[in-house]
Amino acid sequence: MSNYKPSILIVDDEEDILEFISYNLEKENFQVFTANNGRDALKTANVEKPDLIILDIMMPEMDGVEVCKLLRQDERFNETIIAFLTARGEDYIHTSSLDVGGDDFINKPIKPSVLVSRINALLRRTSKFKASTEAPAHIILGDLELDEESFLVKKLGEELELPRKEFQILALLMSKPGKVFSRDVIFRKIWGADVIVGNRTIDVHIRKLREKIGEQYIKTVKGIGYKFDF
């Protein structure tokens, strides 16, 4: 697997965006395919079977939501990560995209370094690439760097002091940026199934984390839990 080049299909009707993303991903040794409308995206996906698909939402002929819906009806794409590329932040856009099986969002515009970090984080969700994450994780997202082996967190190169539980929560959230972790999942993974703690406990840990790393990284998803975003 070390010599394997992850394949990515980029779908957008704006040629400059296709060129920008393709150039930056090919530099990082990804295999890149492109399409500029939904129908061509389906044809390319069927031939190439990419590991990850980046879909623009608003496109001619067939929009990204419809493309995602059709792909999710095909079991060959069960393991394929689908991320929506969008400059639109309305809740209903996000909701409809997730309802048809989307995994995450990549907001326009995006810096090349952030794009590559986000792509690598998304690929780690698939079983094909999980073997590379069995070792202690070393994650760089935005201004934050986390190393599980050395139990170290840095922001802009400056080391932060985090108690063990705060570190473990941050490592969990950073392991899958954009994924919403419910409180129950966080409890089980950090405290264990046999330990009973109240909702207030996790809220306090999150509040302290935000004070140290910045308010912008950990988002509250009302009534569900938390996610890491950058």
pLDDT of residue 128: 67
Q: What percent of the chain has pLDDT over 90?
A: 45
Q: What is the mean pLDDT of residues 186-204?
A: 71
User: What is the spatial distance between Cα 80 and Cα 120, in angstroms, rounded to a whole number?
Assistant: 14
Give the pLDDT confidence of 95-114 residue by residue, as tens digits: 677 778 888 778 788 888 88
Q: Do domains 7-132 and 135-228 have the same CATH topology?
A: no
- Upstream peptide bond of 112 is cis (omega within 30 degrees of 0): no
- Domain 135-228 falls under CATH 1.10.10.10: yes
pLDDT of residue 149: 83
Domain boundaries, the chain: 7-132, 135-228
- Written as one letter, the residue type at 209 is L
Pick the CATH number of 7-132 from 3.40.50.300, 3.40.50.2300, 3.30.420.40, 3.20.20.70: 3.40.50.2300
Higher pLDDT, 228 or 78: 228
Model confidence at 1, in pLDDT bands (50, 70, 90)?
Answer: very low
Comparing C-alpha atoms, which of 59, 109, 67, 66 is closest to residue 87? 109
Give the pLDDT confidence of 46-73 residue by residue, as tens digits: 999 999 999 998 888 899 999 999 998 9
C-alpha dihedral over 99, 69, 106, 41, to 10 degrees?
180
Do residues 17 and 5 lie in contact, with contact meaning Cβ atoms separated by under 8 Å? Answer: no
Q: How far is CA 84 from CA 19, 94, 150, 165, in A?
A: 17, 9, 34, 32
